[in-house]
């Protein structure tokens, strides 16, 4: 995350030219807790740096014929620009995200089926990791209960999308066991990948409060 932390520091330094014109905000949603700072460049444009994440989920389940222990973690830094087309708190957002978002699927052993062939995974490895790209474009829409230039407290909400596809890494030692081939492994991995990567965008949503100095 060093590169991502540097990127956020650059974004924040660009927005802190004038503390008198700044906003701080916090919220909750997906991918987790949101904390940010924004700076008004003009009556209709703000730039901001943001952290969102801290969400960690674990679940046991099955994909295809393999039982998995799954764990998902989400952390994201963002450098964004907001455009306010009117006098209300509605705005359009574009920018870049610097992410550490991944899902780990670790096989739990026991009786499984790979490529339609039964196999005992006890003492063997069949793990799949799905990782979202480190840097992706971001687009979104947002709303605040006060206009962009209004000081004090306001309620804010934002819906956006990170645009990218998960990369897949496989760790396994089952090829050759019970007649299992590499094609069988590839077919099983595709089931896991398809369950997560049908979308080419990752949604982001946040609801919280904003304070303008």
DSSP line for 106-156: EE--SEEEETTEEEE-TT--EEEEEE--SEEEEEEEEEESS-TT--EEEEE
Look up residue 161 and give its two tokens: 């999308």
DSSP string, 17-57: S-GGGEEEEEEEEESEEEEEEEEEEETTEEEEEEEEEEEEE
Only one residue has tokens 């030692």, namely 173
Q: Does domain 2-212 have CATH number 1.20.1440?
A: no
Contact in structure between 187 and 174 (CB atoms under 8 Å)? no
Confidence of residue 199 (pLDDT cuts 50, 70, 90): low
Residue with tokens 């094609």: 183
Angle 142-74-3 (CA atoms, 0-180°, nearest 5)?
90
**Across-strand partners of 79?**
49, 96
What's the pTM? 0.78
* Other C-beta atoms lying within 10 Å of the C-beta of residue 174: 24
- Could you report the per-residue pLDDT of 116-164, keeping only the tens digit for each? 888 888 888 889 898 999 999 999 999 999 887 778 899 999 999 999 9
pLDDT at 14: 47
H-helix segments, the chain:
2-15, 182-196
Q: 99-114 pLDDT, tens per residue?
A: 999 989 888 888 888 8
Q: Provide the β-strand partners of residue 67.
A: 62
DSSP 65: B
Contacts of 89 (CB under 8 A, 6+ apart): 143, 144, 145, 146, 147, 148, 154, 156
pLDDT band at 6 (very low <50, low <70, confident <90, very high): very low
pLDDT at 61: 80
Percent of the chain surpassing pLDDT 70 = 88
pLDDT of residue 7: 53
Q: Count CA atoms within 13 Å of residue 99 on its CB side.
A: 26
């Amino acid at each position: 995350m060093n590169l991502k932390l540097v990127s956020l520091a650059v974004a924040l330094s660009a927005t802190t030219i004038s503390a008198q014109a700044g906003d701080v905000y916090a919220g909750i949603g997906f991918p987790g807790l949101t904390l940010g700072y924004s700076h008004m460049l003009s009556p209709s444009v703000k730039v901001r740096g943001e952290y969102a994440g801290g969400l960690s989920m674990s679940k046991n389940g099955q994909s295809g014929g393999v039982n998995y222990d799954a764990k998902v973690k989400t952390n994201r830094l963002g450098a964004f620009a907001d455009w306010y087309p009117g006098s209300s708190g509605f705005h359009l957002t574009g920018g870049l995200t610097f992410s550490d978002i991944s899902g780990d699927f670790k096989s739990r052993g026991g009786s499984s089926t790979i490529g339609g062939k039964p196999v005992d995974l006890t003492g063997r490895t069949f793990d799949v990791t799905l990782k979202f790209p480190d840097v992706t474009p971001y687009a979104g829409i947002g709303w605040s209960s006060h206009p962009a230039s209004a000081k004090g407290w306001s309620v804010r909400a934002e819906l956006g999308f990170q645009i990218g596809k998960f990369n897949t890494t496989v760790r396994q030692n089952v090829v050759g066991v019970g007649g299992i081939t590499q094609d069988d492994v590839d077919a099983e991995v595709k089931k896991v990948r398809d369950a997560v990567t049908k979308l080419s965008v990752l949604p982001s949503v946040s609801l919280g409060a904003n304070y303008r100095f």
